[in-house]
Amino acid sequence: MSLLHRLCYIGFHVLEKEHLAKDLVSKFGFELFATRKAESSRQLALRRGDAIFVVNEKRQVIPGEVASESSSDSGILYDVDLQYSVSTASNIGFETEDVPGFTLSLQERGCQILIPPTTVADEDGCVIYSVVKSIVGNISHTLLDRSQYCGPFLPGFQVEKDALKKFQKTGEITHFDHITFVCPQGSTQALLEWYETCFDFQRFLVHKQDDVAEGYVIHGAGVGLRLTAMWYSGLDQDCKFILAESMPGQSHNQVDNFLEQHGGAGIQHIALYTTDIISTVAAMAKSGVNFVKTPVEYYTEKRKMQEIQRAGQDIQLLKDRGILLDAAVDGEGDHSDLHGKQFLMQIFTKPLFREETFFLEVIERCGAAGFGEGNIRALWQAVQNYMGHQ
């Protein structure tokens, strides 16, 4: 039996004066469809396609304010009331069956259970959930059984006016493609084993040169990075986890920068899958999204130019948008036929918080299953250039 059914949402904890929810709506095209107000916090559920973010905000209690019926409970639901020094993406919620049984199994494996199985109900039914701590930094996983619930999201949340009509609209963003964790050097293997033992995740080889034991190592020309991927094959929509760690002997880089500013391991970026990256990025840029600037030489390198042309894409259009393209590679490293035009296109935003810790990626896949390994050097350099000008 499949333990996990689907990725339900990804949760953030943001500090006061952060405008994540507002930016997700006004710049990224998400729609606020449900909210929950508590005495000292507010939870905002935002949706685009099947990609759902829950933003947990601390709210100031105004002296003399009368608590509404929806704010009678303190704290937050479906997550832990995280006290963290910076804004962070920290909770990944999965839908599953038999939350009590799954939670007990995790506890027997030595996992830390942050919230035991708990039932929350309203007029649309009930949901059972628990929260387990990951061994990756401040990340936790909420396990939800929604089989007895027919509401639009979760009990305790009030649906925004006209939200049902809004979030049923089709759009270019369809789901979460992958989530990248930044980890300390030497920790990858232990993290893989934990997810394999506790959640039945499996290794996913990101490249032909990916080694089962060592991962995919990229080094030279100022880059020293190890990428290792895993996935759960039973999810309704595929979403992979990527572990990223810097290699020894490197100068200060964005991986080290994340660990320092975030205060340890955590979620560095989340990739949003789009069916049309050109129009999606154009709309986001027009709305005020700031993307990391790709080095100009990326589009003038002969091999990359040929790769883009063989994929049937317009070099100038990709250059104008800052979008990178990476073709599927066979065992000999030959791009000549692009495996029937198997490629992906991707772009990264600049950090969304005051610290240089978290950003979003927009990705479109045309038959390619990897993560843009051929673009990593360019992306690495683009981020390094951005950091160098701060």
The closest alpha carbon to 132, from 94, 87, 187, belongs to: 94
Alpha carbon of 271 to those of 333, 364, 372: distances in Å? 26, 10, 12
The predicted structure's pLDDT at residue 381: 62
Three-state secondary-structure class, residue 347: strand
Q: Which of 16-20, 178-182, 297-301, 367-371 has the highest mean pLDDT?
A: 178-182
Q: How do residues 81-139 score in pLDDT, each as one tens digit? A: 888 999 999 999 999 999 999 999 999 999 999 999 999 999 999 999 999 999 999 99
The predicted structure's pLDDT at residue 273: 95
HSE-CB of 176 using CA atoms within 13 angstroms = 26
Whether the predicted pLDDT of 324 surpasses 80 = yes
The predicted structure's pLDDT at residue 16: 81
The predicted structure's pLDDT at residue 171: 56
Q: What is the pTM of this model?
A: 0.90
CB atoms within 10 A of CB 316: 10
Query: Binding site residues, as ranges?
Result: 178, 269, 361
**Tokens read off for 157:** 């949340």
Please list the residues that pair with 291 across neighbouring strands: 349
Q: Assign 296 a pLDDT band (cuts: 50, 70, 90).
A: confident
Rounded CA-CA distance 204/326 in Å is 18
What is the mean predicted confidence (pLDDT) over 319-336? 69
The predicted structure's pLDDT at residue 333: 41
What is the mean predicted confidence (pLDDT) over 24-43? 93
The predicted structure's pLDDT at residue 89: 97
The predicted structure's pLDDT at residue 264: 96
Whether the predicted pLDDT of 335 surpasses 50 = no
The closest alpha carbon to 33, from 19, 47, 22, 12, belongs to: 47
- In whole numbers, what is the pLDDT of the chain averaged over residues? 85
Query: Binding site residues for Fe cation, as ranges?
Result: 178, 269, 361
Domains identified in the chain and CATH numbers: 4-167 (3.10.180.10), 173-388 (3.10.180.10)
| Residue 58 main-chain phi, psi, to 5 deg | -75, 135
Considering only 198-207, 332-341, 360-369, which range has the smallest mean pLDDT?
Answer: 332-341
The predicted structure's pLDDT at residue 68: 47
The predicted structure's pLDDT at residue 162: 77
What is the mean predicted confidence (pLDDT) over 313-328? 91
